[in-house]
Structure 1
Amino acid sequence: MQRSPSREAPDLSAFPDLVVVLLGFRLRGLRGVPAVWSIGRGLRAIERDPPDGLLASGMFLFGWNHIGIRHYWRDLDSLERFTRASPHDGWWRDFLRDRRGCGFWHEAYRARGGMEGVYIDMPERSGFAAFAPLRPAEGPFMTTRQRLAAPGAGPG
């Protein structure tokens, strides 16, 4: 006799400001292997000692050369504090200085409304970029907060 599946759903009512971030690194050559290895070590350190506001995280593979990361943040303020402090700000500065043949993307989804993404050196269009027009991530479109507040992003 087959048992009924255990069907459960999370009660997210205690997390009204939840922000889910999907990130990806795509290697486009062997030169990118050390960069991704370094980022992987850093992400493992974050999992061992999570910054304030990071509720959960996990890594997965889209393909042999495309690594994914998923973060669940308590709120946008926590996410922004993390991205503007060490070690993240150093990783980001180093990556922008020398991408070592890697592409990067992230997409953020906010429980209170709004979605946004940014794509750096990603020749293959994926995610939002597969169907939405792209524009430079600069000026009023520079930060996650600004893109989430852009017209069409939903309530702030």
Structure 2
Amino acid sequence: MSRKIYKGRYVVKSDESFVIFIIGMRINKFFSFTKWIPVFRAMGPMLRELYQHPELGFYHTEYLINWRGVTLIQYWRSFEELEAYARGKTHATAWRNFNRTIKDDGSVGIFHETYKVQKNATEAIYNNMPKFGLANVFTHTGVSPTTDTARDRIEK
């Protein structure tokens, strides 16, 4: 992922439907290291697999870290591909391990949200930023007279 700063204003152009999947973990009992560290570490193998196999439908993820945990914003080609991955071996193993070691003991929380984004239903602006989010997935281009305002971009 490039950390190059794109000076000025940029937008994203996409004519595709896609899925935004937000997934994360929350550390509820900080000193329960043996509980939350394995959950945190389970994300790595899944992300490596996804980046190594673009045919699975995964585009990109952004990491957001806070004092209680981590959240990943993922971009997928379709809900069907996300669902198929969730039923696959790597994810199923991580899920089984979570349920075996944590289940409902309250030490670690996990969550996810899924959004199906219809074709031409997004608006994004980036000002003096490295590529982030949708800019890592779709066409990242400078603002033009037809993409100058949020309304212009959402109604393109």
TM bracket, shorter-chain basis: 0.5 to 0.7
TM-score by length of 2: 0.59
Q: Distance in 2 between matches of 1:7 and 1:50?
A: 32
Q: What are the ranges of 5 or more consecutive residues in structure 1 without an aligned counterpart?
A: 114-156
Q: Distance in 2 between matches of 1:109 and 1:85?
A: 21
Q: Distance in 1 between matches of 2:9 and 2:73?
A: 23
Verify the 8 A CA contact 2:28 2:109 in the aligned structure 1. yes
Of 75, 78, 88 in structure 2, the residue corresponding to residue 75 of structure 1 is: 78
Query: Once the 2 structures are TM-superposed, how far is the Cα of residue 45 of structure 1 from its aligned partner?
Result: 2.0
Tell me which protein shows more strand as a share of its residues.
2
1:12 equivalent in alignment to 2:14: yes
Of 90, 95, 100 in structure 1, the residue corresponding to residue 98 of structure 2 is: 95
Please say which structure displays the higher CA radius of gyration.
Answer: 2
**In the TM superposition, what are the counterparts of 1:33-44 in structure 2 within 5 Å?**
33-44=36-47
Q: Distance in 2 between matches of 1:42 and 1:111?
A: 27
Q: Which has the higher contact order (CA 8 A, sep 6+)?
A: 2
Query: Once the 2 structures are TM-superposed, how far is the Cα of residue 6 of structure 1 from its aligned partner?
Result: 1.6
Q: Distance in 2 between matches of 1:44 and 1:82?
A: 11
- Where 2:9 maps in the other structure, the secondary structure is coil
Per-residue CA distance 1:49-102 (angstroms, 9 max, x = gap): 2451001112211x2222111110000111011100020111112112222711
Q: Distance in 2 between matches of 1:97 and 1:27?
A: 17
**In the TM superposition, what are the counterparts of 1:44-55 in structure 2 within 5 Å?**
44-46=47-49, 48-51=51-54, 52-55=56-59
Identity of aligned residues (%): 22
Verify the 8 A CA contact 1:19 1:76 in the aligned structure 2. yes
Q: Distance in 1 between matches of 2:48 and 2:100?
A: 23
Q: Distance in 1 between matches of 2:43 and 2:91?
A: 12
Sort the Cα spacing of 1:44 and 1:108 in 2 relative to 1 into closer, same or farther, 3 A: closer
